[in-house]
């Protein structure tokens, strides 16, 4: 971390709440950038799984020649995975990355507002779709410190971060967050509107849902749908394979949030998606979804 980036953002200690795929990825990129990272999970076992996930990702990057072994070791040392929420007290920035559920996220922001000591601390959400203003109000008088920082999976690879201010967010917080993304993480921010789905998912999710409907109606096989978009439109991954990688439960949660706000049919989850989620067939992470793994 350069002295210039520390001066311009005031961020050197980062907290992450939630150690799933996204939370672990966010913790990893912060640690590789020279930041002191505390990742909080619900219990010691979950915290250890998160740390194992990060270590596996770091090893994979070293094995592929994308990361120096010394940098990987330093990043590992910089991360404290714990179940002690109190360790977030001294953080300059806390990123919430828990399950895509409004009530769970509201609880996190309410706790952070009463715990974190620095009045300049930024509270960010990695939500895929929930309006930031609905989370900011949970922070009470610190609602002006809340914004969205939406990373994309896999976090260590993809450069984009959506920066999403709400109507309550202080403009100085937005500027600090953008500088943090650019100068300290080496990623590329876009400022997205505080509406369900923001920019990327408001465009992406209807496309995924359309592909699922096409498959559900028997208009084309899953393989042909995906091959068509990969070989015909130069997409790196077809929409059905991408849905499985994201997680069908996440795709449906985002779709439901979009539909609740806009009431447009293109956002409505198709019956096949609903059935797969109800059956616990969520894609890659469960070994079966639109494809078998």
**Any idea what the Cα angle at residue 77 is, between residues 75 and 80, rounded to 5°?**
105
Tokens of 61: 């990057």
> What's the half-sphere exposure (Cβ side, CA atoms, 13 Å) at 264?
10
Tokens of 266: 């293109």
Contacts of 233 (CB under 8 A, 6+ apart): none
Alpha-carbon distance of 293 to 277, in angstroms, equals 16
Q: Could you give the strand order of the β-sheet that contains 188-191, starting from the edge strand earlier in sequence?
A: 79-82, 36-40, 13-17, 93-96, 122-125, 146-151, 160-165, 188-191
Which residues have a catalytic role annotated?
Answer: 128, 150, 162, 201
List C-alpha distances in Å: 133 to 190, 264, 290.
18, 22, 34
DSSP 3-state percent helix, strand, coil across the chain (nearest 5): 55, 15, 30
Alpha-carbon distance of 19 to 39, in angstroms, equals 7
Alpha-carbon distance of 211 to 59, in angstroms, equals 35
Name beta bridge partners: 164: 148
Contact in structure between 76 and 26 (CB atoms under 8 Å) = no
Torsion of CA 102, 106, 109, 114, to 10 degrees: -170
């Amino acid at each position: 971390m350069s002295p210039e980036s520390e001066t311009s953002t005031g961020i050197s200690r980062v907290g992450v709440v939630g150690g799933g795929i996204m939370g672990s990825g966010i913790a990893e990129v912060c640690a590789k950038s020279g930041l002191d990272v505390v990742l909080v999970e619900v219990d010691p076992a979950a915290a250890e799984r998160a740390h194992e996930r990060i270590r596996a990702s770091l090893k994979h990057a070293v094995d592929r020649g994308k990361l120096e072994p010394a940098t990987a070791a330093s990043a590992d040392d910089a991360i404290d995975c714990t179940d002690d929420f109190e360790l977030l007290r001294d953080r300059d920035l806390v990123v919430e990355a828990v399950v895509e559920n409004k009530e769970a996220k509201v609880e996190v922001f309410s706790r952070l507002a009463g715990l974190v000591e620095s009045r300049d601390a930024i509270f960010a959400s990695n939500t895929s779709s929930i309006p930031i203003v609905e989370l900011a109000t949970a922070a009470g008088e610190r609602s002006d410190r809340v914004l969205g920082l939406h990373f994309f999976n896999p976090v260590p690879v993809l450069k984009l971060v959506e920066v999403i201010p709400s109507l309550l967010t202080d403009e100085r917080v937005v500027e600090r967050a953008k500088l943090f993304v650019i100068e300290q993480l080496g990623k590329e921010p876009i400022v997205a509107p505080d509406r369900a789905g923001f920019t990327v998912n408001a465009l992406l999710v209807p496309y995924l849902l359309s592909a699922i409907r096409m498959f559900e109606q028997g208009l084309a096989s899953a393989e042909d749908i995906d091959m068509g978009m990969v070989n015909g439109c130069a997409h790196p991954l077809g929409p059905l394979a991408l849905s499985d990688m994201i997680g069908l439960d996440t795709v449906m949660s985002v779709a439901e949030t979009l539909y609740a706000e806009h009431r447009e049919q293109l956002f409505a989850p198709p019956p096949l998606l609903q059935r797969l989620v109800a059956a616990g067939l969520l894609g890659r992470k469960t070994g079966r979804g639109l494809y078998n793994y």
